[in-house]
Amino acid sequence: MKKRKALSEKEIDRIIEMAWEDRTPFDAIQLQFDLKEQEVITLMRREMKPKSFKMWRERVQGRKTKHLKSRTSDVDRFKCSRQRNISNNKISKR
């Protein structure tokens, strides 16, 4: 098993923010932070209050935009066009 570097508080906050965003797929989180979907779920469970985690899981479970393979071709970005730019996001700097 590959050993991971510890995530900073800032990185954990960003992962949680990305996981809550409707248009940010788990693939984007994996690309940027090298965390698979199950690892994001584990992180969310550990870092959030139980009720908030349950609410997030219910919200994400049926959402097609959280998985690139399930998306329709008209969704071609990771974030809403009205969302402010986030300076720590490596993907937005490409």
21-55: pLDDT as tens digits: 888 888 889 999 999 999 999 999 999 999 999 99
How many domains is the chain partitioned into structurally? Answer: 1
Residue 76 lies in a domain: no
Question: Residue 13: which domain range?
Answer: 8-60
Q: What angle do CA 43, 44, 48 make, to 5 degrees?
A: 120
What's this model's pTM, rounded to 2 decimal places? 0.67
In a domain, 48, yes or no: yes
In a domain, 77, yes or no: no
Residue 75 falls within a domain, yes or no? no
CA-CA distance, 23 to 72, in Å (whole number)? 12
> Cβ of 74: how many Cβ atoms within 10 Å?
5
Q: Is the confidence at residue 64, as pLDDT, over 80?
A: no
In a domain, 43, yes or no: yes
**By the 8 A CB rule, do 68 and 25 touch?**
yes
pLDDT of residue 88 exceeding 60: no
Q: What is the DSSP letter of 37?
A: H
Residue 50: inside a domain: yes
Taking only Cα atoms into account, the Rg of the chain, rounded to an integer number of angstroms, comes to: 13
The residue written with tokens 């984007």 in the block is: 28
Residue 85 lies in a domain: no
Tokens 């402010």, residue located: 84
Distance (Å, rounded) from C-alpha 78 to C-alpha 47? 23
